[in-house]
Amino acid sequence: MGELAFIMSHKVNGVSALHSDLVKQNLFPELHRLHPGRIVNQTNGVTPRRWLRMANKPLAGLITDTIGAGWEADLDRLRELEPHVEDAGFRAAFAVAKRVNKVELSNWAGAELGVKISPDALFDVQIKRIHEYKRQLLNILETIAHWNKIRANPKGPWVPRVRIFGGKAAPGYAVAKEIICLINDVAGVVNSDPVTGDLLKIIYPPNYNVSMAERVIPASDLSEQISTAGKEASGTGNMKFMMNGAPTIGTLDGANVEILAEVGAENFFLFGLTAAEVTRRREDPDHSKKAIEASQPLQDVLQMIAEGRFNPEEPERYHGLVHRVWHHDYFLVAADFAAYHAAQGEVDVAYADPSRWWRMAALNTARSGFFSSDRTIRSYMDEIWQATSAL
Ligand SMILES: *Cc1c(COP(=O)(O)O)cnc(C)c1O
């Protein structure tokens, strides 16, 4: 179907710089040689009217008060916020806007889910369709490792966290549904643990959709974009979080590459194998076994799941899942675990330093102008449609 679509098309868009190269080199190398110039890159964008002005009125108000009106239709103007990030008063106002949204989300979670979450915790969010390549499994395994660390030293200087998941699985995708089930089983045990209390909560509100995204993204502190490198064509959720002042923890995949280039490495928690390294690592049939044997925290987590620690009523529930991580780990969950665990530690260090954190958060917003869909559409007009603007 892809080849038919290619030969019938005027242009083929790779939707991010990295994926456009992969489409040329790995997906359609022969058709690319036959039709050089047909594959183009128009990096995706999101509309700042919906994802910033409508969804996040506290932050939109602060931006207008700081740089004046009109930025919604000229998003590069957000760069005018940059000098203000050195101003402690501006950073405090940015933090207040975020907190207003977090209080609203906390109240909603209390009413809708019956789980109490503290707006003082770091809201760590992964909302997107459930897929093995997006690696919600990596996130929940690391959450368990973090829980173990807190339990071993409950009086330690922990940054309180809420791990927020959202997303639907396709109807026939049994492995994805198993991951949803695991996250909910882990949440049930962790949320009722008196030892960890408000230091760690997990919520998974049902029926993730755009309305929920508009509620959750403005209240997010950390954006989880942790796909196996080479698998996420672009992502657009990553752009919505950046606009709303949530730094990314993520891999070099899709538009994360361009987000990293815009925001700077000091404002992005990068980890994991690159797309080229992923391809090479898969050539070793024992890659996951080796990675698990090299990481005691990961071994402990897999052992707990295998023993039914989160589902004593049916302890064998995840035997298949654990077996696949050990022996058929196509998406490199085990290989990236240790790097992800370390990067999460870096997030805690940064969050514990408010002047550093709010500088990072505000710079994410200030440098997100490139990800306006207005830029994407103007570029389509110039390079694909040869259309001129009526405005
Ligand atoms: C933005 C959005 C997506 C895309 O999210 P990714 O993280 O890029 O996969 C999916 N679903 C909803 C409801 C969204 O708003």
Can you give the pTM of this predicted structure?
0.98
Q: Whose CA is nearest to atom 4 of ligand 1?
A: 237
What are the tens digits of pLDDT across the range 67-105?
999 999 999 999 999 999 999 999 999 999 999 999 999
Q: Ligand 1 pocket, 105 CB below 6 A?
A: no
CA distance to 54, 60, 183, 241, per residue, from 57 (Å): 6, 5, 31, 15
Q: Ligand 1 pocket, 47 CB below 6 A?
A: no
Q: Is the pLDDT of residue 372 over 80?
A: yes
Q: Ligand 1 pocket, 235 CB below 6 A?
A: yes
Q: Which atom of ligand 1 is nearest to 210's Cα?
A: 13
Choosing from 19, 47, 210, 224 the residue with most ligand 1 atoms within 8 A of its CB, the one to mutate for a pocket test is: 210
Q: Ligand 1 pocket, 166 CB below 6 A?
A: no
Q: Which atom of ligand 1 is nearest to 240's Cα?
A: 1
The phi and psi torsions of 120 (rounded to 5 degrees) equal -85, -10
* CATH number attached to the domain at 50-378: 3.40.50.2000
Q: What is the pLDDT of residue 8?
A: 98
Q: What is the pLDDT of residue 92?
A: 98
Q: Is the pLDDT of residue 185 over 80?
A: yes
The phi and psi torsions of 40 (rounded to 5 degrees) equal -125, 170
User: From ligand 1's centre to the CA of 134, what distance in Å?
Assistant: 12
Q: What is the pLDDT of residue 390?
A: 84
Residues of the chain with CATH 3.40.50.2000: 50-378
Q: Ligand 1 pocket, 131 CB below 6 A?
A: no
Choosing from 19, 129, 209, 232 the residue with most ligand 1 atoms within 8 A of its CB, the one to mutate for a pocket test is: 129
What are the tens digits of pLDDT across the range 296-333?
999 999 999 999 999 999 999 999 999 999 999 999 99
Q: Whose CA is nearest to atom 10 of ligand 1?
A: 128
What would the mean pLDDT of 196-213 be, rounded to a whole number?
98
| Number of Cβ atoms within 10 Å of the Cβ of 186 | 24
Q: Ligand 1 pocket, 210 CB below 6 A?
A: yes
Of residues 266, 315, 300, the one with CA closest to residue 142: 300
Residues whose CB falls within 8 Å of the CB of residue 15, separated by 6 or more in sequence, listed in order: 41, 42, 43, 44, 233, 234, 255
What are the tens digits of pLDDT across the range 270-289?
999 999 999 999 999 999 99
Residues whose CB falls within 8 Å of the CB of residue 386, separated by 6 or more in sequence, listed in order: none
Residue 389 binned pLDDT confidence (cut-offs 50, 70, 90): confident
Q: Ligand 1 pocket, 237 CB below 6 A?
A: yes
What would the mean pLDDT of 361-374 be, rounded to a whole number?
99
